[in-house]
Amino acid sequence: LIAVVDDEPEILDGMHTLLSQWGCETVCTETLEEATQGLIRHARRPDAFLVDYRLREGVSGISVIQDLQARFGTDIPAVIITGETAPDSLREVSGSGYQQIHKPLAPARLYQLLSELITSRKDKRGRVS
């Protein structure tokens, strides 16, 4: 189960399609509140969060991830998706401690990153994937 938060409907549609082709369930939403409600409806913890760095109304993807992890578990891996090139923004993303991937997304790179993060999380919890 992958939660995706992005304020562009076209991106959400594309991510849903891509992740579904990989056999993932998705909760694809534009806001933290929608993501929280969607995850509650699934009645299980997500395996990863994919969140855009810049969301509507100046909301930071970093704060969205922090809120989601506070609710669903800090051991859930998170990836910041960014098209930022400004040094201050890149420093903030790097300093967040979350994995990052740059736009435009290369599907093979995203698949590899998600696979590594989810496998690593399961291994840390004592389950072999």
Write down the H helix ranges in the chain.
Answer: 9-21, 32-42, 61-72, 87-95, 107-124
Model confidence pLDDT, tens digit, residues 66-111: 999 999 999 999 999 998 888 898 899 889 999 999 988 899 999 9
Residue type, 52: D
Query: Is the model's pTM score more than 0.85?
Result: yes
Q: Report the pLDDT value the prediction gives residue 49, as an integer from 0 to 100.
A: 98
- With H, G, I as helix, E, B as strand and everything else as coil, classify residue 33: helix
> CB count, 10 Å around CB of 28?
23
* 3-class SS of residue 12: helix
